[in-house]
Amino acid sequence: MIAYFAKLIFKKYRPRIILVQEGGSDLARSCFFVLKQKFRVRLVHSAIECAFLLNEEPRSFSDRARALFDGVRLLLFSYRDYPEIMIIDGVSDEREMPFRSENVYACVTVRGFNKRAERVFGTAFSIVNGDDTGYKDDYSLRNKVHVISYGITKKSVRVKGEEPRMFHKDGVSGLYMKLLCEGTATPLFIPNCSMNHAKIALAGAALGIVFSLTPLEIARGLEEFGSCFA
């Protein structure tokens, strides 16, 4: 029943779907904090079908009953505060999703290629790691998807991080780097993060470019991303 409601709700509200692969919850949070600067966003780690009805995973029978009630309410009335974007983390089987793969707006990964995006033709974006050995410059042509690449060492990427290093200021440590994209250089200060978070932050920045966020909005979102580790 919940699956049926989820499909109807998706059809009515048409939130744009972002799939996060092989980056873990940190990558999903990076994308979330960037996009929430401009959009209503919901981050989903599990219970995908219920996520279209609730903002949390149902843990009991009463939770599931409430999900069904909310499903009816969402269908009968129009809610302007319903999420515009759903970021779904860790989908291993497309049969888990209450929508078809062609409804996916973008896929984000920390690798240089994206198997799921290769099956999503049309308007799908694939956010990939240009520094990964699996990345090829003709990826977009071979797979018929709109590729936005990010990286640090490779020059040809669309979104580039330059001079990454650790900083310590006012008792707070974190990651600093220059964000090069859209012809601008923007300083990024991401508190409570290490060099291991550099590619994750750039992936979130690349997704922000897809959604036409400004570099300053992206920088603000990544600063909030770092603050969640405090």
What number of other Cβ atoms are within 10 A of residue 168's Cβ? 9
**Predicted TM-score (pTM) of this structure:** 0.88
Domain residue limits, the chain: 2-227
Rounded CA-CA distance 33/164 in Å is: 20
Q: Which of these, 162, 7, 116, lies nearest to 71 by C-alpha position?
A: 7
Q: What is the pLDDT along the chain (230 residues), one digit of tens a residue?
A: 777 888 888 889 999 989 888 778 999 999 999 999 999 999 987 656 677 776 666 667 787 787 788 888 899 998 889 999 999 887 655 555 656 666 788 989 888 876 665 555 455 788 999 998 877 766 555 556 788 999 999 888 999 999 999 998 888 899 999 999 878 999 999 999 999 999 999 999 999 999 999 999 999 999 999 998 87
Rounded CA-CA distance 34/208 in Å is: 6
Please give the CATH number for the structural domain made up of 2-227.
3.40.1190.10
